[in-house]
Amino acid sequence: MLLVPERRLVVGRLDGVIAGSAQLSRAPRNNEAQAFAGTLTSAFVAPWARGRGIGRGIVHRDRAARPRIGLAVLNLDLRDTQRAAIRLYESLGYMRWGTHPVYAQVEERIVPGHYYYKLLEEPAATP
């Protein structure tokens, strides 16, 4: 993580122990067309720490990092089985724009996935 300048790792702690994390990534430098967009990936809260606001805290800490790396929109995707995460992101204003019906396999069952975005600021228009 430390060697990839396009990525930021955000961690959440409970009683001093890392209980969750997420990665915020932006397009590589050679992809100027998507330089304004970031992707939130690998978000996870340990089962023993769930229901204590760790996920919300990670998203809020992540939000503070965005202006430093110049993002106007943030994208993410979630499995349909991740109901708590879906509620969290929708409560924070993320908009679902699509669903992939064959997204992941969970316990030998195929489940859909949902794609979200949130505008952090209006992308700059070019003449």
The model's pLDDT over 29-43, given as tens digits with 9 standing for 90+, comes to 888 888 888 899 888
Q: Is residue 39 part of a domain?
A: yes
Domain region containing 41? 7-119
Number of domains in the chain: 1
Task: Note the pTM of the prediction, 2 decimals.
Answer: 0.83
Distance CA 34, CA 36 (A): 5
Residue 79 covered by a domain: yes
pLDDT, tens only, 84-124:
999 999 999 999 999 999 999 999 999 999 999 998 876 66
- For residue 24, give the CATH number of its domain: 3.40.630.30
Percent of the chain with pLDDT over 90: 50
**99 beta partners:** 114
Residue 103 counted as domain residue: yes
pLDDT in tens, 75-84: 999 999 999 9
- Residue 2, in any domain of the structure: no
Has residue 124 been placed in a domain? no
Q: Quick check: is 73 in a domain?
A: yes
Q: Is residue 127 part of a domain?
A: no
